[in-house]
A and B are shown apart, each in its own frame.
Chain A
Amino acid sequence: SAVISQKPSRDICQRGTSLTIQCQVDSQVTMMFWYRQQPGQSLTLIATANQGSEATYESGFVIDKFPISRPNLTFSTLTVSNMSPEDSSIYLCSVVGVTEAFFGQGTRLTVV
């Protein structure tokens, strides 16, 4: 299994500002995944973060809005840029072990 620490656990931000979410894993992993969960909804994959290369974004998500860094094999950040109330969601990072996926505790973001 993997232990994932995510910070901050929650935040309330003003519209137009940016928030950077950090994800730290207790072991080296090739890929890290960022998901978004809008209120009352399921999880949607934002992007896959690979060490040493640009992140790969899913349809509907762009780098200018959600820039991602992956400086090493145990750490990644996701920035939510120029926030609006529609960005209010839980953001989760994830890694995959041998077979199973593991998730951080999530960052609950409220944009006012």
Chain B
Amino acid sequence: GIQVEQSPPDLILQEGANSTLRCNFSDSVNNLQWFHQNPWGQLINLFYIPSGTKQNGRLSATTVATERYSLLYISSSQTTDSGVYFCAVELTGGGNKLTFGTGTQLKVEL
């Protein structure tokens, strides 16, 4: 099956710092999404981004489908950004089923 690897696995930032999270996938995909899982376990959809670049406030994401990777940028990080970030992909013809990446655990400190 498809492999979805994220890096780094863990990241500690000082508040106000910027960071880039990466998601590599091993096969062509129909769509790619980024999620934030807060410390209480709730998953929030950040971006639906099968290709191109999107921005939402301090967050932006870029997917280069032909090279099979996506990047999530967090600027001016805040303590509320802490949690786990997952990318998830749907294979072409996958029937909306998502394969999740390995995750990046982010901690933002004061």
Contacts and interface: CB of A to CB of B under 8 A. Distances in A.
Interface stretch (B14-22, B55-63, B72-80, B100-108): B100-108
A13 interface: no
A90 B96 contact: no
Interface residues of A, number: 20
B37 to A, nearest CB: 8
Most-contacted residue by chain A among B35, B43, B101, B102 (CB, 10 A):
B43
B48 A43 contact: no
B60 to A, nearest CB: 17
Contacts of B70: none
B45 A101 contact: yes
Contacts of B95: 31, 48
A105 interface: yes
A61 interface: no
A100 B44 CA distance: 10
B65 interface: no
B88 A101 contact: yes
B45 A100 contact: yes
B31 A106 contact: no
B48 A103 contact: no
A45 B98 contact: yes
B103 A108 contact: no
B100 A42 contact: yes
A57 B42 CA distance: 24
A53 B48 CA distance: 29
Given A43-B43, A92-B43, 16 more contacts: A31-B95, A33-B96, A33-B98, A42-B100, A42-B101, A42-B102, A43-B88, A43-B98, A44-B100, A94-B98, A99-B31, A99-B48, A100-B48, A101-B98, A102-B45, A105-B41
